[in-house]
């Protein structure tokens, strides 16, 4: 299956967007008093609030990375293929049958 260049660009953009947004969200959660048992950053034990949000951030970064990589791979697969010597149909060199 091949995606259009527009969809490839969209998927790549989603991957970049994920890496712009989620780390900032993770930092905000880290600094939130609800993340720590004492109400002070790095004071006391981490709470369930911190753990669940850390899981969400990590899962979102993993999914965003996967989507971004798929977008980049789709972009590269939609490159225009230039005709090679002995080929007039734009076949790739690996697609040409040798006698």
Q: How far is CA 55 from CA 5, 22, 28, in A?
A: 32, 11, 14
Q: Which residue has the higher pLDDT, 93 or 17?
A: 17
Q: What is the domain partition of the chain in residue ranges?
A: 5-79
Q: How far is CA 46 from CA 34, 58, 88, in A?
A: 9, 17, 65
Q: How buried is 35 (Cβ within 10 angstroms: 0-12 exposed, 13-18 middle, 19+ buried)?
A: buried
Residue 12 pLDDT > 50: yes
Average pLDDT, the chain: 86
Residue 92 pLDDT > 80: no
């Amino acid at each position: 299956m091949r995606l259009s260049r527009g969809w490839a660009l969209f998927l790549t953009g989603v991957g970049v967007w994920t890496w712009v947004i989620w780390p900032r969200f993770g930092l905000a959660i880290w600094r939130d008093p609800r993340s720590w048992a004492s109400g002070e950053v790095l004071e006391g034990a981490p709470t369930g609030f911190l753990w669940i949000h850390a899981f969400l951030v990590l899962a979102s970064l993993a999914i965003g990375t996967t989507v971004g990589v798929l977008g980049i791979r789709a972009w590269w697969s939609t490159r225009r293929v230039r005709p090679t010597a002995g080929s007039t149909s734009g076949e790739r060199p690996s697609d040409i049958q040798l006698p």
